[in-house]
Structure 1
Amino acid sequence: MASSPKQAPTPKGIKFLFGGTAGMAATVFVQPLDLVKNRMQMSGEGGKVREHKTSFHAVLKIFQKEGLRGMYTGLSAGLFRQATYTTTRLGIYSTLFDLTSGQDGSPPNFATKASIGMVAGATGAFVGTPAEISLIRMTSDGRLPPEQRRGYTSVFNALARITREEGLFTLWRGCGPTMARAMVVNAAQLASYSQSKQFLLGTGYFQDNIFCHFGASMISGFVTTCASMPVDIAKTRIQNMKVIDGKPEYSGGIDVLSKTIRSEGVLSLWKGFTPYYARLGPHTVLTFIFLEQMNKMYRNYASTAQC
C-alpha cells in the first residue's frame, strides 16, 4: 500500500493571517462586552457620581440611550486592534518559539514559553496601541454629553483626527500600561491555562476537546482578570483623558492608580470585572475555534492541490 503524501507545513505568513483573522472573528461576538467594560472603568472617575452601579445596569442604560447599534460602537477599532495586536503577537511568538526549540524539534520549557509570550505580548501591544486608544475613545464617547463627544466615525477617522488634532505621539499615549497589561495577561494566561487544563483532565470527567478547552479558558480568564485589571484601568483612563490648557489629567499609570484608590476605593481597580471576565474566556475559546477551522480548511485545500 502506498504511503500517504507527507503534509506540507503551513507557511508562516498564512499562520499570521489566520491568527489575526481568528481574533477579528471572535471580536465580532464579544465587542459589546468590551464596550461595557470600558464604560464601567470610566464610571465614577475623579470621584464623580458613578453612572453605572453594575454591568447589567450599564447594558440597560446603553440600550436605552444608544440602542442595539450602540452596543457595537467602536467595532471597527476592535477589529483593527486584532489585525495589528493579535497578528503581531502570534507572529513574534511563533518566530521565537521556533528559535528556542531544540534541534530535535522539542518545544522550549515552560519558563522560556512564558518569557517569549511576554515579549510577544509587549511587542504586539506596542504595535496595537493606536487601535487600542481609538477603541477606548470610541466606546467611551456615548457616556459624554453631546457637546463633549469626539464623534469619531471609524477607527481610521479616529487615527487621522488624533494625529491632526493632538499630534502623532498621542497615538501611543498609555503605551507603557498597555504593554505591561499585555505582559501580565500573556504570563498569567500561559500559566493558568496550562494548569487548569491539566487539572480538568486529571479529574477524569474531561477529555482533551472543546469542552475541556472552554473550562480551562474560563478558569484561566478568572485568574488573568484578577491579575491584569488594575493595569487595564490605568491604561483605559490614560488613553481616554483629555489635555486641558496643556495639562493632562494624569501623569502616568501610578498617578491613575493612586488617584483612583484615593477617590473611589481599592475595589474600584476591579471595576468592570464581570464584562472583562465574560469577554476574556469566550474570546480565547472562539479565537482558537476559528483558528482550528481555518487551519483545517487550509490543510484540506493544500492536500487537494497536491493531488
Structure 2
Amino acid sequence: MTKFSNSLVVGAFSGATGAALGSPLLLVRTQLMSSSDSSIAVGTQHNHQGSFSALKHIFSEGGVRGLWRGTLGMALRNSVSSSMQIASFSVSKDLMDKNHWFKHSNKYVSAFFASNVAAVAKSLTTTPFDVVTTRLYNQPVDNLGKGVLYQGVADCARKIATTEGPLAFYKGLLPYYFRQVPQSILLLMFWDVLKDLQKTFMGKNDEKR
C-alpha cells in the first residue's frame, strides 16, 4: 500500500503543478477548438484569431486572473489523472509480476497490460473533471473577464448534475479512452524500460567500486 500511496501523492502533485503552469494555454486551446463557423457553432464562441491573439484578448478582459480562470478545475483534473495513471499501473504490474502471470513471455508484457489497466482507470476517473474544466474554460465572460455561467468547480458540477444528470459527466468517455490507450502504453512502457536501465547502470557503478 505504501507504493500505491506514494504513487497517488507524487502523481497528484506533479499533475497539479503542470496544470497551474499550463492553464492559460489550455484555456486558449479549449476556446480555439470550440470556435467554428456560425452555421455549425455549438456553445460560446470567442472568435480568437490565433493563440497570441487569444492570450492578448483574455488578458485585456480579465488581466492575469483571467488567464488563470478555471485553473482549479484543471488542477483537480490533472491531479486525478496523473495519480490514477501511475498508481494503477504500479499496482497492477506488481500484481502480475508477483503472481507470474506472464513468466513465459517477454518481461515487458506485464507492463503492456498494466498500462492498459492504467488507461481504463485514468479515463473513468478523469472524464468527469474534463467535462467540468471544459465548461469552465469555454463559458462566456463579463466585462471583467469573469465567467457568467459558473462560479467555480463545485457550482459547475452541481449545475451539470441537476440539469443533465450524472451520465453527463461521462460525455466523451469512449474517445477519451481510445486517446489514452496509446499514450499510456508508450509513456508507461518507456518508463518501465528506463527504470530497468537505471538499475543496470547503478549496478555497474556499484561493481566498479
1:264 CA drift (Å): 1.2
**Which residue matches 1:208?**
107
1:109 CA drift (Å): 4.7
Q: 2:176 aligns with which of 271, 276, 301?
A: 276
Q: 1:134 aligns with which of 23, 28, 42?
A: 28
Aligned counterparts of 1:268 and 1:129: Cα–Cα separation in 2: 23
Closer, same or farther in 2 for the Cα pair 1:143/1:217, shift >3 Å?
farther
SS at match of 1:243: coil
Q: Is the 8 A contact 2:10 2:83 kept in 1?
A: no
Gapped runs of 5+ residues in structure 1?
1-107, 297-307
Q: Is the 8 A contact 1:118 1:182 kept in 2?
A: yes
**Which residue matches 2:60?**
164
Does 2:137 align with 1:239? yes
**Matching residue's letter, 2:83:** A
| TM-score of the superposed pair, with normalisation by structure 2 | 0.75
Aligned counterparts of 1:289 and 1:263: Cα–Cα separation in 2: 41
- What are the within-5 Å matches in structure 2 for residues 65-80 of structure 1? none
1:253 CA drift (Å): 1.0
| TM-score of the superposed pair, with normalisation by structure 1 | 0.53
Spell out, residue by residue over 1:25-47, the C-alpha distance to the aligned partner (whole angstroms, 9 max, x if none). Answer: xxxxxxxxxxxxxxxxxxxxxxx
Closer, same or farther in 2 for the Cα pair 1:269/1:191, shift >3 Å?
same
**Which residue matches 1:263?**
163
Aligned counterparts of 2:155 and 2:36: Cα–Cα separation in 1: 26
1:279 CA drift (Å): 1.3
Does 2:127 align with 1:229? yes
User: What is the aligned residue count?
Assistant: 186
**Which residue matches 1:70?**
none
SS at match of 1:248: coil
Q: Is the 8 A contact 1:200 1:206 kept in 2?
A: no
1:266 CA drift (Å): 0.8
Closer, same or farther in 2 for the Cα pair 1:200/1:144, shift >3 Å?
farther
Spell out, residue by residue over 1:221-279, the C-alpha distance to the aligned partner (whole angstroms, 9 max, x if none). Answer: 11111112222211110011112466611011111111111211111101000111111
**Which residue matches 1:173?**
69
Closer, same or farther in 2 for the Cα pair 1:281/1:144, shift >3 Å?
farther
Gapped runs of 5+ residues in structure 2?
198-209
Spell out, residue by residue over 1:59-82, the C-alpha distance to the aligned partner (whole angstroms, 9 max, x if none). Answer: xxxxxxxxxxxxxxxxxxxxxxxx
**Which residue matches 1:252?**
152
- Structure 1: which 4+ aligned runs deviate by more than 6 Å? 289-293
Aligned counterparts of 2:143 and 2:72: Cα–Cα separation in 1: 24
Q: 1:197 aligns with which of 86, 93, 107?
A: 93
Q: Is the 8 A contact 2:36 2:45 kept in 1?
A: yes
Q: Is the 8 A contact 1:197 1:216 kept in 2?
A: yes
**Matching residue's letter, 1:138:** L
